[in-house]
Structure 1
Amino acid sequence: MKTGIATVSIAGALPEKLAAIAAAGFDGVEIFEQDFIAHDSGPSDVGQMVRDHGLEIMLFQPFRDFEGLPEPDRTRAFERAKRKFDVMRELGTDLMLICSSVHPKALGGIDRAADDLNALGDVAAEHGLRVGYEALAWGTHVNDHRDAWEIVRRADHPSIGLIVDSFHTLGRKLSPESVRRIPGDKIFFVQLADAPRIEMDLLYWSRHFRNMPGEGDLDVRAFMQAVAATGYDGPISLEIFNDQFRGASPRAIAEDGMRSLLSLMDDVNRIEPAPHLDVPSMPPRAEIEGVEFIEFAADEVEASRLGALLTTLGFTHAADHVNKDVSLWTQGAINIVINTEREGFAHATYLSRGTSVCDMGLRVKDAVETVRRAEALKVRLFHQRIDQGELRLPAIQSVGGGVMHFLDAASGLTDVWDVEFKTTGNASEEVGLTRVDHVA
């Protein structure tokens, strides 16, 4: 399975984007024309820069307002396409995306559009290139992947294929099941995006609120199941337009995107196995049974104030760590840890952020398998020196620079309070707090 991402999906100048995309482990990129235009070197240099990062240019996009035009606009559209083909050859890519027209002069008609694409296919073939046709959700005459496929089918040209995008299908509340009837070899490219379900103009929604698969309300999994059922074995790529992403760390967004793709394809493969997609093997999703502990980093003064606050809330100073300056405060099944060590991760967190949550422990069925899945999803593991008699709790580097540990009863990790802590003998008094409901 080859993975890709559109350069428009993340922030930064083109070199910064490519570095982040390569570091996240993607195989290639969709070069968005605006990123190419904004860069200060020519197409051959851009192509070489992409390859120097170990990436391939999977797609050049977008080419707009091509099909269904009357003369002389039709001739001009073909001339524009030829110039784009010249750019593509210099870039070193063989596939261009044409999105369905919104041109005010565009004429409707399946056969008219098919004839235009067939003629363009001849031009593309002369250059050794291919063209993928995509139905924009807001296209004037073509806004449904079924119509786009019928146009491609009637065009009947080996250099003309279909591009499907989960947003354009699911955003219009179209069933993805019809995708299953499309021959996999006529799907030239697959783009994925999720989005929160918001009732607004389709174009505005698409340009500002897309997010990674699994982070929104669209059934991207069902869409990808339908694609996989066709036998399609080409690239799976993210095309995300999101204002917040464009203001965030390029590397963080690229890594999040890669995780979303791997997780999605694992979900698809478990429901409807698709061996041709070569999905990496990983353990199943872990079910969180509860929050085992929340750990604060503090100094002695702040720890005293935090302890006083916890006492007011009904918590009891129940135990202290046998080796470290760490105290345990409990109420019901809630465990709050205060760490005032002068070295290690908690201390580093305190120095950089002051008194704050530095660690969280989640109770799962199998801690080792949970971390194995995280590692398969390219999450960084967390390791720290442990002293004699301490348990080694599997952990990952979490969001916001924190740490997340995983504990399970089967391997005895939830016995950490008995193994590593010595009771203070303080009597506890129930005040009605029983568990951590959620963390926000």
Structure 2
Amino acid sequence: MTSVDLIAACWTSAGAAAPCTDDERSPVSIRERVEAVSDAGFTGFGIQHTDLAVVRNTIGYEEFRKVLDGNGISTVEVEFLEDWFTDGPERVASDVARRELLTAAEVLGARVLKTGGKFHREEFDAELLAPHFARLAQDAANAGTVVGIEPAPFREIQTPQQAMAVIELADHPAGGLYIDIWHTERLGIDFSYVRSIPGHRIVGVEIDDADAEIRGSLLDDTVNHRRFPGEGTFDIAGFVSAIKSTGFSGPWGVELISAEVRSMSVQEATRRAYSTTRKFVE
């Protein structure tokens, strides 16, 4: 049987860094992170925008690609583009980030750029979002990559169904769905819906785990209390089976974000992430 490739999503190897903080940069050097991810068994590496800026301003993207190649990392994912459908100052900042992320994606040969809806907005209008997403997908295609919408319960695009409405209306081959089991489980999405998603529309999948009860707010739960696969209550086997039934055959991401992970060395965190995930995807 062909081995399934696993991607260490950005926070899995970021050490003591956390999303939604004033400084999201990893305190661990990029070389140490890549080496730890490779030594653990991963063949994919995820990196987020602020860490890409550090790479750009230090060793540069070309040298970073050499570091990845030297450690057997064949797959790269970049994230996270915010505010791509807004206007005003937010859109100006988003467009700067868009250019930077797509430049990095092109040089690094990234397979996907992750994006999603705006934080804490209740209104959802697929017809309004779709033209913006189509243009973003075309920009991604021009950079040799694709863009994936990751729905989340605390964002404007909350559900896979909403994300798919935007994706289908945009109808661009370089735009698809990026689905994380944490968001699917916390939203109570039935696996029958997951099985109905056309496999060619899925550009990325992530696995993790959590307790049965939400701890604090949803945002606090996702940032501080995720668990390693098999150490929580999520039906990971059912999720994997549903995803595979769509025909998706790409690599699987492992996104561990928690206070527990941030207390570990990057070597310990990545080894444990790999070993706990591998048994579910083979």
> Which TM-score band applies after superposition, normalised by the shorter structure?
0.7 to 0.9
1:164-216 deviation digits (Å, cap 9, x = unpaired): 00001112222232111111111001111101123321111100111221111
Q: How does 1:381-392 map to 2 (within 5 A)?
A: none
Match of 1:4 among 2, 7, 25: 7
**Residue of structure 1 equivalent to 2:77:** 59
Structure 1-normalised TM-score? Answer: 0.56
Distance 1:64 1:176, change over 3 A: farther
Amino acid at match of 2:142: E
Report what 2:148 is aligned to: 132
SS of residue matched to 1:132: strand
2:12 partner amino acid: S
- Structure 2 gaps, min length 5: 16-27
Question: What is the letter of the counterpart of residue 85 of structure 1?
Answer: L
Q: Which residue of 2 aligns with 1:347?
A: none
Q: CA deviation at 1:70?
A: 3.8
- What is residue 191 of structure 2 aligned with on the other side? 176
Greater Cα shift, 143-152 or 170-179: 170-179
Q: Aligned Cα RMSD in Å?
A: 2.1
Say whether 1:150 aligns with 2:165.
Answer: yes
Q: Report SS of the residue matched to 2:187.
A: coil
Match of 1:95 among 112, 136, 143: 112
Decide which structure has greater strand share: 1
- For 2:249, the equivalent position in structure 1 comes to 233
CA gap 1:126/1:38 in 2 versus in 1, 3 angstroms: closer
In the alignment, structure 1 residue 160 sits paired with structure 2 residue 162: no
Instruction: Report Cα offsets for 1:363-418 as digits up to 9, x if no partner.
Output: xxxxxxxxxxxxxxxxxxxxxxxxxxxxxxxxxxxxxxxxxxxxxxxxxxxxxxxx
Q: In the alignment, what sits opposite 1:253?
A: 269
Tell which deviates more after alignment, 127-136 or 231-240.
Answer: 127-136
SS in 2 for 1:217: coil
Select the structure of larger CA radius of gyration: 1
Once the 2 structures are TM-superposed, how far is the Cα of residue 231 of structure 1 from its aligned partner?
0.7
Measure, in 2, the Cα distance between the counterparts of 1:221 and 1:179.
13
User: Match for 1:98: what amino acid?
Assistant: T
Distance 1:128 1:91 in 2: 10
Identity among equivalent positions (%) equals 23
Does the 8 Å contact 1:6/1:32 carry over to 2?
A: no
Give the Cα–Cα distance (whole angstroms) in 1 for the partners of residues 83 and 92 of structure 2: 12
Give CA deviations for 1:326-347 in whole Å, capped at 9, x if unaligned: xxxxxxxxxxxxxxxxxxxxxx
Aligned pair in 2 of structure 1 residues 127, 188: CA closer, same or farther (>3 Å)?
A: same
Unaligned runs of 5+ in 1: 266-278, 280-440
Counterpart residue number, 2:23: none
1:244 match: secondary structure: helix
Q: Distance in 2 between matches of 1:153 and 1:133?
A: 12
Q: Which of residues 56, 62, 86 is equivalent to 1:44? A: 62
Aligned length: 263
Q: CA deviation at 1:71?
A: 5.3
Q: Partner of 1:313 in structure 2?
A: none
Q: For the residues of structure 2 that align with 1:251 and 1:149, how far apart are their CA atoms? A: 36
